[in-house]
A and B are shown apart, each in its own frame.
Chain A
Amino acid sequence: MNKVSDDISKDLKDQPKFTTDIGEKDQDHHSFDLGEQTTLKKIQHFLHGNPTIVPVIILILSVIAFGFIAGGKFFSAFNLSLIVQQVTIVGILAAAQTLIILTAGIDLSVAAMMVLASVFMGKLSVEMGVPTLPAIAVGFISGIATGAFNGILVTRLRLPPFIVTLGTWNIFFALVIFFTGSQSIRSSDIEVNAPLLHFWGERINLGGFVFTYGAFLMIGIFVFLWFLLNKTAWGRHVYAIGDDKEAAELSGIRTDRMLVSIYAVAGLVVAIGAWVSIGRVGSVSPTSFYEGNLDSITAVVIGGTSLFGGRGTIIGSLFGALIVGVFSSGLSIAGLDVLWQRFALGCLIIVAVGIDQWIRKVSA
């Protein structure tokens, strides 16, 4: 009781008189310095301002670590380019996923959307005789439509994105089975009828490093989305909505329309991924990429984007996808069982989210 009353009397003493003149001692509140900081606090602030640094450090450390563990084989041009090839699809899905997670949402249906779009592309061009380009266009429309459908459910029905996309994941997957009758479209049939679908799987050799065109396209998507997110009003609004939807609304952003457009853009990115995936896998299989949803979320989270929205970078997700690729490749070259790859990845996810939580406390 004494302590409280002491505090109050101290407050009262500090209270300036209610006049308009401001004494000199009050001038220091003009300054914007952040005060005394410990080293840890400085690190926290630095990471807070540069969220991509963490995945970059993890990527560099893991490459070095696996260089030691797995030896020269890991650093071979063949292996490094294989890693990039392997992360292409998850990378593209992660790019789309980043847009959704930045709005404080989550999309469990990205991989199902992608397979559905690839089914349209394959079915139409290989089995129904539609020219390849229009078939691809239908696949793109499918991606945009399924994305927008998610967005409309999220905004109109005010359902949590987790629930909406859990539902649409199953719906899209069922549609895939319906349209294909659980039959794959064979790679050889695609090669004969619609070779353009394999375009992004073509390889190019750069001094021993073998890259698919799809890998370049993935990089291109990330660069494009980086510009979109950082240089346009649309991009700033993505962050604003994820940060504080109410505030964004009061600032004059039409948040519902924005959200639908964000889900639609994510759907388009996913549909591009569908085309690339046909080149990567060769065939169109209704059961492929079943783990793509969670893998894309893993890449985004490891890439430093906060699941609570408004914080993170698109490039971080590229690093996140690469980290996953480096871990799988390094651990398997080192001869570890797949179960340990899963184990390591699981630890990485928890560490990444833990670091994110710690960094977020900076503002508190």
Chain B
Amino acid sequence: MQPVLVANKLSKKYGKVVALDSADLELYPGEVLGVIGDNGAGKSTLIKVLCGAVIPDSGEILLDGNKVTFTSPIEARKLGIETVYQNLALSPALSITDNMFLGREIRQKGFMGSFLKFLDKKAMADEARKRLSDLGLLTIQNINQLVETLSGGQRQGVAVARATSFGTKVVIMDEPTAALGVKESRRVLELIGEVRSRGIPIILISHNMPHVFEVADRIHIHRLGTRLCVIDPKKHEMSDAVAYMTGAKQPPQD
């Protein structure tokens, strides 16, 4: 099976600090790939390179087998790599609909839209409602509710719905449960399952080992700027993963 996204020998130095040392990564269709690593292992640099926020010194990125280059998250997004940032990148004072279509608004048809540039609010609201209900978030009563009136988990839901709405090939989720309570985290983990069931592969970066082990199909362990190993969460214990991560134990050879 051809991977959707491949990172090939990515390197990045900041002065003398080697953040990425010819790191590899593969993401297969329909899977959740957990990415874990100790602080300073370079996993956030890896993710920033994949989402376009950092330009690597060397190495290449293949999307659907084609080499791609991008210099900003916006370019990466145009190619179908969507990122749900830890801070979500939502505008709290705008409505759910406005946020979902921010920068990609739907205009009215005909003169009103093409000349007067009027927005088709109804079409956007309908589409937003559909996206949210697809993800099992139908209980949002008012699609024109302001995002700041939503809870942390609900905001995450809006950000995920936005990330999966526009011909997305890959979703990168950066610490989606870090700021959430227990119940809200549950909901977000369910959400990850919903996105996967719709065939969109996810790269999940998290410090929360139980969460990663719960939803990931494979776990990429990052250490000292490169990929140490990829493990199957069903065949390994959390304590093993921590041991590999910290270098206390040698990774399996397979």
Contact = CB atoms under 8 A, between A and B. Distances in A.
Contacts of B210: 18
Interface residues of B, number: 49
A310 interface: yes
Contact of A251 (B92, B103, B145): B103
A38 interface: no
A250 B149 contact: no
B93 interface: yes
B28 interface: no
A248 B91 contact: yes
Contact of B118 (A29, A232, A311): A232
Contacts of B89: 244, 246-247, 250-251
Contacts of A248: 91, 102-103
B186 A16 contact: yes
Contacts of B168: none
Contacts of B146: 48-49
A247 B91 contact: yes
A236 B139 contact: no
B232 to A, nearest CB: 16
B24 interface: no
Contacts of A236: 94, 98, 102, 105, 119
Interface in B110-124: 116-119, 121
B148 A362 contact: yes
Give the dominant DSSP class at B's interface: mixed
A232 B119 contact: yes
| Chain B CB within 10 A, most for which of A15, A34, A231 | A231
B74 A252 contact: yes
Given A243-B91, A243-B93, A310-B91, A252 B103 contact: yes
A140 interface: no
Interface of A is mostly: helix
A310 B88 CA distance: 17
**Which range holds the interface residue count of chain A?**
35 or more
A235 to B, nearest CB: 9
Interface in A2-38: 11, 14-16, 18-20, 22, 26, 29-32, 34
Given A26-B183, A243-B93, A251-B89, A32 B150 contact: yes
Contacts of A310: 91-94
Contacts of B183: 26, 29
A247 B90 contact: yes
Contacts of B139: 30-32
Interface in A45-77: 45, 48-49
A363 interface: yes
A363 B148 contact: yes
Interface in A172-191: none
A29 B102 contact: no
A240 interface: yes
Contacts of A31: 139
B94 A18 contact: no
A242 B187 CA distance: 30
B152 to A, nearest CB: 11
B73 A16 contact: no
A362 B149 CA distance: 8
Contact of A363 (B92, B117, B136, B141): B92
A236 B186 CA distance: 33
A233 B107 contact: yes
Interface in A223-269: 231-234, 236-237, 239-240, 242-244, 246-248, 250-253
A155 to B, nearest CB: 16
Interface string B130-154: 0000001101110001101110011
B85 A239 contact: no
3 closest Cβ contacts across the A-B interface?
A252-B103, A363-B148, A250-B89
Given A20-B214, A236-B119, 17 more contacts: A15-B182, A26-B183, A30-B136, A32-B139, A34-B149, A237-B103, A247-B91, A248-B91, A250-B83, A251-B89, A251-B99, A251-B102, A252-B74, A252-B104, A253-B102, A362-B149, A363-B148
Interface of B: 73-74, 77, 83, 85, 87-94, 98-99, 102-105, 107, 116-119, 121, 136-137, 139-141, 145-146, 148-150, 153-154, 182-184, 186-187, 189-190, 193, 210-211, 213-214
27 contacts: A11-B182, A16-B186, A18-B210, A20-B193, A20-B214, A30-B187, A45-B149, A48-B146, A49-B146, A231-B121, A232-B116, A232-B119, A233-B107, A233-B117, A236-B94, A236-B105, A237-B102, A242-B93, A247-B87, A248-B102, A251-B89, A251-B102, A251-B103, A252-B102, A310-B93, A311-B93, A362-B149
